[in-house]
């Protein structure tokens, strides 16, 4: 590997650097922070923390790229370049996999099926979308009888600030960078402080395939009074796309108000599954099991509230319990590992506080509820037991607040309207899953649950052309397919008097 590659991969002896104007750079201040493995607490590397000078340099580099060759590239050439990025990610699949798994501790089997392939696919889908979007045109009559022709053109928004979370680092970052670049923008990415590696590694890919310097930049650091805030406050940033907690979204929206800059937000959720007695029982257990426990419960679309029609309630609780108890916690690289740790000790404290609250609020702990005994060095990792509760009042914080861990509460219901009311009784509105073999009911209930994404008899089945986003406090705007173009381009009307 070249020197930048070792810096970017960031394991063992290495440093993880900022990527600005096509160069891997440390911080002028010399400040760094630790990147530790959630599996066993081992030091993975040290990350160069960007200060205001680095964030400013990244924004300037992005602006310069827009004024340079990148701004001149036609859509066909830009699309080819994004295909090349995807191909290079796939060629370096193992490097990306190793980096993602080291940062997150998630099972390699999961990252190799989900995170890395989607990281590559996110470039191809939007390269295709921009080539195929029609424009709109209107002819109009005028008093002189000659008329006028209106047509719309799309231009890039400019420099996009991309602020990312840690749960699906490459997938969620490229979900924004792919369309941003496809539309001709330049980006400054601020990965989560917990997961700096794959965004940095992508810098090498950009250089390798000849994406002009400054089109893709990465600055590392934290949120408040650090790189996140410096980036969102920077007036050279034209628009901000953010995935993360609703509370952070509120802070970013305040920063974006200066200069009246556009935001696209994918935020938290407290998603419900609604399971009817007429469901395919095994499919429902399999699907709800994935929705609750995949990625150790750290998926924004995941289910933390399960409502089950009373005739199958007891059977469902017992079957999901068996599913939870079947997970094999272990090192990510072990082939039989099916669940990793939480992202950090800090996040574990948060999740365990809800495990405690559940008991205080009178829950029956069906399974789990604590910290598993892990052997050897794994005892230093951020492990928790997959957990199921029943018997909580709907007013409990465990039912109302996003936990973001491998846990759910299961409650019975007796009528369709009751299930809809329970599912909607939350300030969030991201996703839901409905389990039934009654097609009419599926359509009826789907239309009444106030969320951005409804799955019927499935979960996290993604067609990247579809609108993705949240209602209520779960987000602002939709991304995916042509919907991403609404955010990443400015639509201009040209009126020609004939």
Is residue 330 within 8 Å of 336, Cβ to Cβ?
yes
Q: Which of residues 360-419 bind ligand NAD (CB under 6 A)?
A: 402, 404
- Please name the residue that has the structure tokens 């996703």: 431
> 223 vs 287, which CB is nearer to ligand NAD?
223
Is residue 23 within 8 Å of 6, Cβ to Cβ?
no
CA-to-CA distance for 285 and 307, rounded, in angstroms? 13
- Does 432 participate in binding ligand 6OD (rule CB under 6 A)? no
Distance of closest approach, residue 370 Cβ to ligand 6OD, in angstroms: 25
Query: Longest Cα pair distance anywhere in the chain, in angstroms?
Result: 86
Per annotation, catalytic residue among 164, 279, 296, 300: 300
- Does 224 participate in binding ligand NAD (rule CB under 6 A)? yes
Choices 185-193, 293-301, 334-342, 364-372 (CB under 6 A): range interacting with ligand 6OD: 293-301
CA-to-CA distance for 177 and 478, rounded, in angstroms? 15
- Does 324 participate in binding ligand 6OD (rule CB under 6 A)? no
Q: Is 142 helix (H, G, I), strand (E, B) or coil?
A: coil
Nearest-CB residue for ligand NAD: 223
CA angle (173, 42, 90) in 5-degree steps: 35
- Does 477 participate in binding ligand NAD (rule CB under 6 A)? no
Told to judge if 300 belongs to the known catalytic residues of this protein, a careful annotator would answer: yes
Is residue 403 within 8 Å of 297, Cβ to Cβ?
yes
- Does 301 participate in binding ligand 6OD (rule CB under 6 A)? yes
Please select the residue that binds ligand NAD; options are 19, 96, 166, 355, rule is CB under 6 A.
166
Taking CB within 5 to 8 Å according to partner kind, which of ligand NAD, ligand 6OD, none is near residue 175? ligand 6OD
Told to judge if 407 belongs to the known catalytic residues of this protein, a careful annotator would answer: no
Query: Residue 432's beta-bridge partner residues?
Result: 272, 454
Is residue 364 within 8 Å of 411, Cβ to Cβ?
no
- Does 172 participate in binding ligand 6OD (rule CB under 6 A)? yes
Which string of DSSP letters, residue by residue, matches 247-279?
HHHHHHHHHHHTTT-EEEEE----EEEEE-TTS
- DSSP E strands, 315-363: none
Taking CB within 5 to 8 Å according to partner kind, which of ligand 6OD, ligand NAD, none is near residue 462? ligand 6OD
For residue 290, which of 201, 374, 367, 386 has the smallest C-alpha distance? Answer: 386
Nearest-CB residue for ligand 6OD: 300
Give the residue numbers annotated as catalytic, written as ranges: 266, 300
Positions touching ligand NAD (CB under 6 A) are: 163-167, 172, 190, 192-193, 222-224, 228-229, 232, 243-245, 248, 251-252, 266-269, 300, 402, 404, 430, 470, 474-475
Positions touching ligand 6OD (CB under 6 A) are: 167-168, 172, 175, 266, 299-301, 462, 468
């Amino acid at each position: 590997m070249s020197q930048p590659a070792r810096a970017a991969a960031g394991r063992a002896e290495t440093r993880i650097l900022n990527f600005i104007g096509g160069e891997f750079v440390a911080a002028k201040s010399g400040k760094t922070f630790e990147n530790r493995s959630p599996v066993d607490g081992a030091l993975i590397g040290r990350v160069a923390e960007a200060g205001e000078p680095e964030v400013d340099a990244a924004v300037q580099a992005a602006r310069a790229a827009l004024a340079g060759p990148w701004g001149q590239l036609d859509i066909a050439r830009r699309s080819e370049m994004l295909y090349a990025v995807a191909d290079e990610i796939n060629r370096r699949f193992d490097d990306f996999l190793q980096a993602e798994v080291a940062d997150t501790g998630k099972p390699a089997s999961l990252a190799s099926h989900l995170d890395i392939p989607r990281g590559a696919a996110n470039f191809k889908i939007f390269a295709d979308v921009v080539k195929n979007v029609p424009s709109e045109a209107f002819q109009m009559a005028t008093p002189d009888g000659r008329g006028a022709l209106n047509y719309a053109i799309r231009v890039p928004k400019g420099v996009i600030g991309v602020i990312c979370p840690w749960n699906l680092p490459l997938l969620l970052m490229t979900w924004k960078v792919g369309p941003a670049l496809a539309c001709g923008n330049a980006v400054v990415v601020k990965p989560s402080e917990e997961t700096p590696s794959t965004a940095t590694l992508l810098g090498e890919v950009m250089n390798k395939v000849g994406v002009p310097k400054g089109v893709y930049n990465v600055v590392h650091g934290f949120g408040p009074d650090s790189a996140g805030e410096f980036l969102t406050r920077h007036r050279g940033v034209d628009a901000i796309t953010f995935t993360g907690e609703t509370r952070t979204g509120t802070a970013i929206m305040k920063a974006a108000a200066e200069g009246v800059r556009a935001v696209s937000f994918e935020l938290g959720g407290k998603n419900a599954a609604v399971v009817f007695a007429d469901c395919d029982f095994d499919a429902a257990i399999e699907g709800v099991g994935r929705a609750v426990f995949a990625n150790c419960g750290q998926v924004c679309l995941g289910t933390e509230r399960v409502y089950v029609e009373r005739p199958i309630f007891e059977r469902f609780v017992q079957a999901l319990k068996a599913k939870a108890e079947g997970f094999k916690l272990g090192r990510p690289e072990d082939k039989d590992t099916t669940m990793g740790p939480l992202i950090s000790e800090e996040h574990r404290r948060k999740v365990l506080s809800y495990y405690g609250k559940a008991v205080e609020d009178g829950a029956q702990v069906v399974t789990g509820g604590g910290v598993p005994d892990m052997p050897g060095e794994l005892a230093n990792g951020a492990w928790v037991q997959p957990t199921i509760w029943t018997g909580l009042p709907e007013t409990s914080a465990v039912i109302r607040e996003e936990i973001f861990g491998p846990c759910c509460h299961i409650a019975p219901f007796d009528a369709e309207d009751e299930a809809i009311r329970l599912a909607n009784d939350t300030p969030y509105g991201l996703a839901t899953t409905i389990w039934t073999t009654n097609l009419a009911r599926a359509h009826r209930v789907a239309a009444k649950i106030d969320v951005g994404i409804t799955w019927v008899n499935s979960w996290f089945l993604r067609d990247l052309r579809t609108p993705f986003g949240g209602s209520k406090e779960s987000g602002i705007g939709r991304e995916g397919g042509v919907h991403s173009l609404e955010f990443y381009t400015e639509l201009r009307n040209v009126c020609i008097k004939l």
